[in-house]
Amino acid sequence: MSEVRRVVRDGLWDNNVVFAQMLGMCPTLATTGSATNGLGMGLATTVVLVSSGVLVSLFRNVIAREVRIAIYVLLMSTVVTLVDMAMNAWLHELHKVLGLFIPLIVVNCAIMGRAEAFASKRAPGMAALDGLMMGIGFTLALMVLGGVREAIGQGTLFADASMLLGQHFAFLELRLEGYRGVLLMILPPGGFLALGFLVAARQRMLARARARSLGASAGAGITAGT
């Protein structure tokens, strides 16, 4: 498998930030009360993942091992602050909605994780691709988690998406009439519950796929690992 395909697969599924690496739990659980909030947090994080990945990769031959963590922290907090200022100035409407998520990105250890595990060893182009894919994977995970909690919790999906994305996306907003919702799913415990069930579902899918491929390669029809 080519390296580009590997990176894409890792980010989106095999090594997904939320469902496989289990990183960035604080923003994940805190912002997924609705699909729209999950999407917003995911997009803001993606921008930071890409830019911090490129920066770390550019300086990878200069940064001494002993102080690398301190330097990564410096670079990342600089990027987050710059993104915050730039959005406040030039994407003000979006900033009013996403603004509250941006400081939360600093506590997302997935960004530090990618700098240490990937960007510090690869060329800037590859680091950018990795950041983008990890970011998209993170965004999708947050949207699914937010969607599940929102649907069960208050019977809506993508409520207020038009406030984040503009009026063209108002069609995304769905509402189940006459459903009163389960408050628990919106509150913090619901985040843990939904995440647990989603991770379990993913594990089951992986186990099935593994069984199938083993069965196929053995050719004898042995259902392995069960």
Contact 106/52 with Cβ under 8 angstroms? no
* Residue burial 31-49, b: 16+ Cβ < 10 Å; e: rest: bbbbbbbbbbbbbbbbbbb
Question: Binding pattern to other proteins, positions 47-86, x when CB under 8 A?
Answer: --------------xxxx-xx--xx--xx-xx--xx--xx
Which parts of 159-188 interact with other proteins (CB under 8 A)?
159-160, 163, 180-181, 183, 186-187
Cβ 3 to other proteins shortest distance, Å: 27
Told to check if 107 binds other proteins by CB under 8 A, we report no
Which parts of 21-40 interact with other proteins (CB under 8 A)?
33-34, 37
Cβ 154 to other proteins shortest distance, Å: 4
Told to check if 1 binds other proteins by CB under 8 A, we report no
Told to check if 104 binds other proteins by CB under 8 A, we report no
- The rounded distance, in Å, linking the Cα atoms of 119 and 203 is 28
- Side-chain-side CA neighbours of residue 132 (13 Å): 10
Cβ 98 to other proteins shortest distance, Å: 14
Cβ distance to other proteins smaller for residue 51 or 108: 51
* Residue burial 2-28, b: 16+ Cβ < 10 Å; e: rest: eeeeebbebbbbebbbbbbbebbbebb
Told to check if 153 binds other proteins by CB under 8 A, we report yes
* Residue burial 178-206, b: 16+ Cβ < 10 Å; e: rest: eeeeeeebbeeebbeebbeebeeebeeee
Where does residue 71 rank: exposed (0-12), middle (13-18), buried (19+ CB within 10 A)? middle
Cβ distance to other proteins smaller for residue 20 or 163: 163
Residues that bind other proteins (CB under 8 A): 33-34, 37, 61-64, 66-67, 70-71, 74-75, 77-78, 81-82, 85-86, 88-90, 92, 96, 153-154, 156, 159-160, 163, 180-181, 183, 186-187
